[in-house]
Amino acid sequence: MSGMDFANSPVVWIFGSAIVALVIFQAIKFLSLSKKAAREIGMSDSEIKRAVKTGSITAIGPSIGIIIVAVSLISLIGNPLTMMRIGVIGSAPIESMGAQLSAESAGATLAGEGFTPEIFNLVVWTLCIGGAGWMIFTFFATPYLSKIQTKLTSKPKGEYLMSIIASGAMIAVFGSLTGAEMIKGAPYIFTAAVAVISSLTFNYIANKKGINWLKEWSLGFSILISLAAVYFFI
């Protein structure tokens, strides 16, 4: 049996499906937990609906964006392992790098020369332990991070401090991520600029005229418009 045949065998499908099912279960569980909490602090049903809708719409763009990497991974490590690795923490580019590194360290080529079931399993070892790194840290550290946060917010001015840190962290990360993309070249600068302008415009119109549905779609529309623009630019 070649490594690629093994990569698409039932055993791999079973493990891959199990973890994806778990992720889906978690999402449903937290959706119901946060809905309940939202009602308890007095949020209206329409506010809850708006949050869920906005989150769903926001996910469309990024999900489509990783299709190409996902599909190219399939040709290297088979469908079920791709599903498992794309379905949980770890990013598609990192996964392809990890798979490449593993095969290379054994002197084999992914889906090619010397790709035996053993080499496939080597890739599984590397990617699974690699992805578990985040989960293990989250599992152990989140209760402590939570305690630190509670201590901080219970102090006078704590809420204010927390809100500054949270907003500052977000703005800074996206400034950094956008900056990193922009230094890649003209089409990247162009795309980011169109995205910034359309997002500002949508939010301005939505706030000025009080159009709530536009706020929900603003990110999705901005992504679509900038992609359409760069399609003609390149």
Partner 1 sequence: MNEFRAASHRWGRITIGLGILISLAMPLYISFVMGYHPGFSLIINSFLAYAAVVAIVWFLEPIMYFPVLGVSGTYVAFFTGNISNMCLPAVASCQEAVGVEPGTDKGEIVGTLGISAASLVNKIILIPVILAGLWLLTVIPESVQEVFPYVLPAIFGAVLAQFAGKYPIYGVLALIIGILVNMAPIPLFTKNVLCIVLLVCIMLAAGKLKSKKA
Shortest Cβ distance from residue 175 to partner 1 (Å)? Answer: 3
User: For the residues of 86-133, what is the DSSP string, one character each?
Assistant: HHSSS-HHHHHHHHHHHHHHTT--TTSTT--HHHHHHHHHHHHHHHHH
What distance in Å separates the CA atoms of residue 228 and residue 194, rounded to the nearest whole number?
Answer: 10
Contacts of 156 (CB under 8 A, 6+ apart): none
What distance in Å separates the CA atoms of residue 108 and residue 102, rounded to the nearest whole number?
Answer: 9
Shortest Cβ distance from residue 209 to partner 1 (Å)? Answer: 15
What distance in Å separates the CA atoms of residue 52 and residue 38, rounded to the nearest whole number?
Answer: 12
Q: Which is nearer to partner 1, 113 or 231 (CB)?
A: 231
Q: Which is nearer to partner 1, 29 or 155 (CB)?
A: 29
What distance in Å separates the CA atoms of residue 139 and residue 61, rounded to the nearest whole number?
Answer: 29
Shortest Cβ distance from residue 191 to partner 1 (Å)? Answer: 4
Contacts of 72 (CB under 8 A, 6+ apart): 96
| Helices 92-105 & 79-87 angle (0-180, nearest 10) | 130
